[in-house]
Amino acid sequence: MATLCPEDPVKMALHRGCGGMPGLEIFTGSAHAVCMTPDRLPVAAVMTAVLASATVLTAAENPLLAPDAKIEKLASGYQFTEGPAADKQGNIYFTDQPNNRIVRWDATTRTFADWMKPAGRANGMFFDHQGNLIACADEKNELWSIAPDKTVRVLLKDFQGKLFNGPNDVWVRPDGGLYFTDPFYKRPYWNRGPSEQKGQHVYFLPADHSAPQRVADDLKQPNGIVGTPDGKQLFVADIGAGKTYRYDIQADGTLSGKKLFCEMGSDGMTLDAEGNVYLTGKGVTVFNREGNRIAHFEIPEGWTANVRFGGTKHDYLFITAGTSIYGAQLKVQGAR
């Protein structure tokens, strides 16, 4: 997750005020409310210029869309959206990383509100089974567990005494153990030197949060990661090589049986209940269990960072893309 795309939106000017969300437009059907402050009008004007709400595909053009459904722009005016994670109620928590905040989307009211700020420059996130939000805290290259009351526990800050490159995306398996990717993307807000790790790898942290172990060390630049609900298989996108691999998960956390899943890398990933895999980058591309492309959601943004199922029935596809948030009602539910 969060390659921050070739243009690196992190370098865009920060904008604050109006509850932390100036220029934010939340779309509700044909109406929207605009929040801006006088001292930020130029920034808001730039953001507003790209807020044309568009129907990209209809159900007739995409086999996964529900009847009469369309891809909708839900909100815009962020700086770079990433890391969507769904809680048990289907609410989505995502990051606006350059603005160092986690935002919550309410699945019932479909409204947005800041949930945590500052937020450790959180990137990829995933809820564990106790309701804690596991976050790749990019500011200091750490892995966090954020309790429902927003108490932060640092799970990891280094590997064998050396800083991580920057934990990027994370998935929690059924027994509470977790896997995360650690690519290296130099950030302008870091106060550190070059990579201390010999390569860009995938790690496993047991459920007791004891010693982490490196479980994949032959990838160029691992990024998106997700596993099956039964905890038997793990998908890892090597965005640097433009490929996604599937592994068999062992009880001790190690991985075996590496197989090429598809010739496409990805920033973020998710699965639906039918076993289809959703990859991101230039829109959202969907592959079936066999690795065959079956659908594509074109998103009118320069980069689509991540995707997750949410909503009260867990059948709403929530998409983080550039400065905006998109969504679509699907025929299928997310895997869980």
Q: Which two tokens stand for residue 228?
A: 């099956």
The mean per-residue pLDDT over the stretch 242-257 comes to 98
- Fold that domain 9-329 belongs to in CATH: Neuraminidase (2.120.10)
pLDDT value at 55 more than 50: no
Per-residue pLDDT tens digits for 119-162: 999 999 999 999 999 999 999 999 999 999 999 999 999 999 99
**Residue 45 exposed, middle or buried by CB count within 10 Å (0-12, 13-18, 19+):** exposed
pLDDT value at 116 more than 90: yes
Confidence of residue 293 (pLDDT cuts 50, 70, 90): very high
Residue 60 confidence (pLDDT) = 54
pLDDT value at 32 more than 60: no
What 3-state class would DSSP assign to 305?
A: strand
Token pair 């965005």 is found at 239
Report the percentage of the chain scoring pLDDT > 90: 80
Give the strand order in the sheet containing 304-310.
31-35, 24-28, 72-76, 324-329, 316-321, 304-310
Residue 280 confidence (pLDDT) = 98
Residues 6+ apart with CB under 8 A from 31: none
Point out which residues pair with 158 in neighbouring strands.
163
DSSP letters, 4-56, are -TTT-GGGSPP---TTT-TTEEEEETTEEEEE--GGGHHHHHHHHTT------
pLDDT value at 2 more than 80: no
The mean per-residue pLDDT over the stretch 297-318 comes to 97
What 3-state class would DSSP assign to 98?
A: helix
Q: Higher confidence at residue 111 or residue 47?
A: 111
Lowest mean pLDDT, pick from 72-76, 191-195, 267-271: 191-195
CA distance 187 to 90: 31
The mean per-residue pLDDT over the stretch 172-198 comes to 95
CA distance 179 to 262: 20
pLDDT value at 40 more than 50: no
Confidence of residue 258 (pLDDT cuts 50, 70, 90): very high
pLDDT value at 56 more than 50: no
Among the listed residues 119, 92, 122, 95, the one whose alpha carbon sits nearest the alpha carbon of residue 104? 92
Q: What are the CA-CA distances from residue 232 to residues 182, 260, 308 (Å)?
A: 22, 16, 20
The mean per-residue pLDDT over the stretch 72-77 comes to 97
Model pTM score: 0.84
The mean per-residue pLDDT over the stretch 220-233 comes to 98
Residue 62 confidence (pLDDT) = 87
pLDDT value at 231 more than 70: yes
70 backbone dihedrals φ, ψ, rounded to 5°: -150, 160
Point out which residues pair with 327 in neighbouring strands.
72, 318
